[in-house]
Amino acid sequence: MAELDDVLVNKFTWKIPNALALVGSRDGERWNAMTTSWIMQLSMEPVLIGVGVDNTSITHELISGGGSFTVNLWSADDTRPFVKFSKPAVLERDGDTITLNGREVEAAPSGAPVFTEAIAWADCVVRQAIDFGTHTLYAGEVVALRIGDDDARAAAMSDTRMKYGGVKRH
């Protein structure tokens, strides 16, 4: 039995083959999207999808305020946005066109942003929020979705050199 030290915990959690997506959020005029690898389905009836969001992030603030989020799956052929969306996104408006970090978004039925380039997205209304310590799990009921490109393979964490999870860095 190995001791439970931080290095081992990081090694283990980084080995979990995580998903990867851009999670859209909005509270009024504030829009954001953030790279997230803590995503999984939580229930089949109702269909609930959960995202784990850092309690200190803007996305946490906007989902708490706005009451919804979106899950945008991205093509494995274009993983560049994931690094870019690891920081708060830059919102720009040009007439009716709204972009986050230069990528076009529109409001899903819940109001939260979805990307026109996403290969698929789901719009989720928060039914429960559970604070587990450093992160809050938002359990969202899927209220709308779109498959943009049914042939594309959705990017996973393993398509990038990114790592996320493990122990809190102090």
Query: Which part of the chain contacts its own copies (CB under 8 A), choosing from 47-55, 61-69, 77-85, 97-105?
Result: 47-55
Closest CB 45 distance from its own copies, rounded Å: 4
Buried b (16+ CB within 10 A) or exposed e, 98-110: bbbbebebeebeb
Which residue, 58 or 156, has its beta carbon nearer to its own copies? Answer: 156
Three-class DSSP category at 58: helix
Assigned token pair, 106: 């529109």
Query: Which part of the chain contacts its own copies (CB under 8 A), choosing from 24-32, 48-56, 58-66, 86-94?
Result: 48-56
Closest CB 81 distance from its own copies, rounded Å: 16
Query: Which part of the chain contacts its own copies (CB under 8 A), choosing from 7-15, 59-67, 77-85, 94-102?
Result: 7-15
The answer to whether residue 86 forms part of the interface with its own copies (CB under 8 A) is no
Q: CA-CA distance, 101 to 83, in Å (whole number)?
A: 11
The answer to whether residue 19 forms part of the interface with its own copies (CB under 8 A) is yes
